[in-house]
Amino acid sequence: MRDIAPKTPPQRPAMQEPDGFDRLYRDHVDLIYRYAYRLCGEAESAKDLVQETFLNAYQGLKDFRGESRVSTWLYTIASRACIRMRRKRKGQPEHELSMEEFVPTSEGEFRLQIPMDGLSPEEALQNKELRKALDHAIEKLPQKYRMALVLHDMEGLRAKEVGTIMGLNERAVKSRLHRARLFVRRELSARGITHHDDHTSGGSHS
Amino acid sequence: MTKKKTAAPKKQSKPSSYDHRHSEGACVDLLRQLSAYIDDELPSDICKEIRRHLGACPNCEVFIASLQHTVTLCRHRPAPQLRPVDRMNMRRAILDAANAR
């Protein structure tokens, strides 16, 4: 008795069913590009990562058992590929973020703010300076923290799914996520971004 | 019109039960739990306690607002779209690489 689950489409060997790969690519390439862009912070590296991800998926398609969602499987492949690619590029070790470093030591540090009072997030993000600061802060995060933040807060996945992708339990995911948020908050607020909105100032710059 | 709901946060010089040096005690405990609080994962009694603390501690209130803003901004930061030409070129490159192996 063979245990073959016939429900999910991409289960047949890719070589025998090229359509299987095409469907997989067509349905998920935008998702994986978005994830890759958020991890890499720029387009060229993101494209490299997408290609590496789908190449691995192409080769692994025949082994995919449908135990997780296809998107979870692809996120996992992309995350591992990203770790490998980064390791190749620069060998610097990842540094850990400790909770202690986020304990404010002064009133001023406690009261640092992010300029979005009364604005919707979309309006706030029209402030170019704020947008750049946010991107920069995320980019500065050590990779494993960035991954947790991107998957949870940007891709909108639940901690359990993030854990499946990163090979962690939920508690570890939440701990990384919390530190990542504290890091980004500190980076953002410490920049002292002023409250001027590009969209209300006549739009001379984009 | 309406009655005052609570007898709470009068702006007095020193809120009663917290020592606000912000490097130890209640503020640090709170700091550790803020993400769980924002994500609504804490039991209601702890949430209540946190809200009480926030009412009495303006610094923590500002801190949590800025953390909440951080999460909100992350959630709404759009990512650029892939151009159709890139989508097509990448597909070709992936299949070429796969066949070359």
pLDDT in tens, A12-53: 444 445 678 999 999 999 999 999 999 999 999 999 999 999
Backbone angles phi, psi at A146, to 5 degrees: -60, -40
Better-predicted residue by pLDDT, B68 or A62 = B68
Closest Cα in chain B, distance from residue A1 (Å):
33
Q: How much of chain A is helix, strand and coil, in % rounded to 5? A: 65, 0, 35
pLDDT for residue A78 is more than 70: yes
Angle made by CA atoms B83, A38, A147, in degrees to the nearest 5: 145
Contacts of B28 in chain A (CB under 8 A): 103
Domains recognised in chain A with CATH numbers: 18-89 (1.10.1740.10), 106-200 (1.10.10.10)
Do B23 and A103 make contact, defined as CB atoms within 8 angstroms? yes
Find, in chain B, the residue whose alpha carbon is nearest to that of A158: B39
pLDDT score of A108: 67
Q: Are A128 and A198 in contact (CB under 8 A)?
A: yes
pLDDT score of A189: 81
Q: Across residues A2-17, what is the average pLDDT?
A: 44
Q: Across residues A80-95, what is the average pLDDT?
A: 80
Q: Are A182 and A145 in contact (CB under 8 A)?
A: no
For residue B80 the two structure tokens come to 């650029």
Contacts of B72 in chain A (CB under 8 A): 116, 121
Residues A193 and A113: their CA atoms lie apart, in Å, by: 9
Do A105 and B80 make contact, defined as CB atoms within 8 angstroms? no
How does pLDDT run across A99-155, given as a tens digit for each residue?
888 887 776 666 667 777 788 999 989 989 899 999 999 999 999 999 999 999 999
Q: What is the dihedral of CA A181, A42, A22, A68, to 10 degrees?
A: -20
Residues B99 and A144: their CA atoms lie apart, in Å, by: 33
Residues A12 and A157: their CA atoms lie apart, in Å, by: 27
Q: Across residues A71-100, what is the average pLDDT?
A: 87
Q: Across residues A66-93, what is the average pLDDT?
A: 87
A 111-170 → B contacts, CB under 8 A? 111-114, 116, 121-122, 124-125, 130-131, 134-135, 138, 149, 153-154, 156
pLDDT score of A196: 52
Residues 6+ apart with CB under 8 A from A97: A142, A145, A179, A180, A182, A183
pLDDT score of A7: 45
How does pLDDT run across B6-61, given as a tens digit for each residue?
444 433 444 444 445 554 577 888 889 999 999 999 999 999 999 999 998 888 89
Round the average pLDDT of chain A to a whole number and report it: 83
Find, in chain B, the residue whose alpha carbon is nearest to that of A101: B23
Percentage of chain A lying above the pLDDT 70 cut = 79
Contacts of A40 in chain B (CB under 8 A): none
Which of these, A28, A21, A48, lies nearest to A36 by C-alpha position? A48
Q: Are B54 and B64 in contact (CB under 8 A)?
A: yes
Residue among A55, A102, A181 minimizing CB distance to B70: A181
pLDDT for residue A165 is more than 80: yes
pLDDT score of A49: 97
pLDDT score of A16: 46
